[in-house]
Amino acid sequence: MENNTVEQWQALTKVKPYLQKAWETSGFKKPTSIQEKTIEPLLEGKDIIFESPTGTGKTVAYVLPMLNNLDENSKSMQAVFIAPTKELAMQIFEEIQKWTKESELSVASFIGGANIKRQLDKLKKRPQIAVGTIDRMKELIEMKKLKMHEVKSITVDEVDQIIANKHVNGLKAIINSAVRDRQLVFTSATISEQAEQVGKELMNVPETIRVSEGGMKSESLEHAYIVCERRDKIDVLRRIIHTGEFKALAFVNDLEKIDEVAEKLRFKKVKLEVLEGQSSKIDRKKAISSFRAGKVPLLLATDVASRGLDIEGLTHVVQFDFPKDAASYTHRAGRTGRMGRTGTVISIVTPGEEKSLMKLAKQLGIFAQKKELTRGKLIDAK
C-alpha cells in the first residue's frame, strides 16, 4: 500500500460500515504488516496459522475479519475466541466490545474460576460471540450449554502456550465439537513446530503467515543488561526503578520466589503489585488496575500470569530472572515497545547468565547493551 489512506484500506478489505467506522474512531491510519497480510485471506474464510511479534496488532488482525463474517440477524453462537489466560481472554473480550459497538452483535466472556451460574445466565441471552479460557469453554460445551453446531469460526490466541501447557486434547475437543467447515485460526508471537502441526491436523488447507517487522529488532525497542551477583538482584531492581520515570513489568520465574522478592522490595520502600497464576480474580484485577493507573511503578509477574498482558505506557520490561528460552524472552520483551512505541528490556544477569544472554541475543538477532548504575543513573558500561 503506497498511499496509506483509510479509504484505500477499507476498499481493500471490503469490511462492513460499522467496522469501517470503528477503524476511523480508533485513530488507525493504516494497517500493520500482519494486518495487511492476514485480513484479506481471513475475510475469504481461509484457515490460517499466523505468527507476528507482540505489539504488532495481532488482535485486530483476527477480530476485524471474524466479526465481518458474522450474521447480525442470527441469534446463534457464531464465533469463538480462545485464550490461555484470564487476562488475555478479557483483553480480547474488551477489544471485540469496541469493534461491535455500532452493530447488533453481542459478546460474552467465559473465564475459568468465575461464577459458572452467572455464565450460564449469559448463555441464555444467546450471544453470537464467546470469548474465554480453554478450561471453562470445554466445561460449558461438555455441559451442553455452549452450542457449537452453528459456530462459523474458532480463533485460538497464544496457541503455543496452550499446547505447551498440555491443553492440546482440550483444544481439539472444543474444535471438534463444531462443524467441519468452520474457519480455524491459530496465532501467537512464536508458533512452535508442535502448534503448527496441530493446526495442520485440524485445519482445511491452512495457510501459514509469518511477519517479523515491528518485533524484537524494532528500533523502538532497546535491549540492555546489568551484571551482578544473584544476592544483589533485588537491590539492583530497586535502583533501576529509582533512575527515572518508570512503569516496569518485572519477571520472576518461580511462583515460590515471587512473594519473597515482593516482600524484600516492599521492605526497601518500593511500591509494587504482584501478578501470579494462583492469584484470585479480584487480586489480579486489583493489581493490574493499580499498575495501569500509575499508582505503583512496578508489577512483579510470572510468565503464566502475564501472557498476552497489554498495558499502555509500559516503559520497561525487567528480566529479574533469566528467561527459560528465546520464546520466553520474546513474549516478555513484547510487553513494551508495542505498536511502534518506544520501550526498553533490561535483563539483570549473573556473570554466568551473561554468556547465556549473549548466546540468546545472537539467536534472536538483537544487540544487548551492557549497562551500569552510577549515581542514580543507568549508563552504558565502560
Q: Tell me: the pLDDT tens digits for 342-364?
A: 889 999 999 999 999 999 998 88
Question: What residue ranges do the domains of the chain occupy?
Answer: 6-210, 221-380
Mean pLDDT of all residues belonging to the chain: 87
pLDDT of residue 295: 92
Pick the CATH number of 221-380 from 3.40.30.10, 3.40.50.460, 2.40.50.100, 3.40.50.300: 3.40.50.300
Residue 365: is its pLDDT beyond 80? yes
pLDDT of residue 280: 73
Residue 369: is its pLDDT beyond 90? yes
Q: Give dist(CA 324, CA 226) in Å, integer.
A: 18
The residue among 80 and 379 whose pLDDT is bigger is 80
| Cα 76 to chain centroid, rounded | 28
Question: Would you state the torsion angle of the CA atoms of residues 94, 96, 100, 101, taken in this order, to the nearest 10 degrees?
Answer: 10
Q: Give dist(CA 133, CA 180) in Å, integer.
A: 22
**Contact criterion met (CB below 8 Å) for 371 and 224:** yes
pLDDT of residue 164: 82
pLDDT of residue 317: 93
pLDDT of residue 20: 86
Q: What percent of the chain has pLDDT over 90?
A: 57
Q: Please indicate whether the domains covering 6-210 and 221-380 agree at the CATH topology level.
A: yes
Residue 130: is its pLDDT beyond 50? yes
**Cα–Cα separations (whole angstroms), residue 243 to 9, 135, 284, 379:** 43, 42, 27, 10
Q: Is the pTM of this model over 0.85?
A: no
pLDDT of residue 82: 97
pLDDT of residue 161: 87
Residue 8: is its pLDDT beyond 50? no
With cut-offs at 50, 70 and 90, classify the pLDDT of residue 216: low
pLDDT of residue 43: 92
Span 107-113, average pLDDT: 92
Residue 180: is its pLDDT beyond 70? yes
How many beta carbons lie within 10 A of that of residue 347, not counting itself? 28
Residue 56: is its pLDDT beyond 90? no
pLDDT of residue 213: 62
Q: Give dist(CA 354, CA 361) in Å, integer.
A: 10
Span 231-238, average pLDDT: 95
Residue 6: is its pLDDT beyond 50? no
Which superfamily does CATH assign the domain made up of 6-210 to?
Answer: P-loop containing nucleotide triphosphate hydrolases (3.40.50.300)
Q: Is 367 exposed, middle or buried (0-12, 13-18, 19+ CB in 10 A)?
A: exposed
How many beta carbons lie within 10 A of that of residue 329, not counting itself? 26
Residue 304: is its pLDDT beyond 90? no
Q: What is the DSSP string of 113-180?
A: TS-HHHHHHHHHT--SEEEEEHHHHHHHHHTT-S--TT--EEEEETHHHHHHTT-HHHHHHHHHTS-T
**Contact criterion met (CB below 8 Å) for 95 and 45:** no
CA-closest candidate to residue 39, choices 83, 18, 81, 69 = 69
With cut-offs at 50, 70 and 90, classify the pLDDT of residue 340: low
The residue among 339 and 140 whose pLDDT is bigger is 140
With cut-offs at 50, 70 and 90, classify the pLDDT of residue 318: very high
Orientation of helix 58-68 relative to helix 6-13, angle to 10°? 50
Residue 382: is its pLDDT beyond 90? no
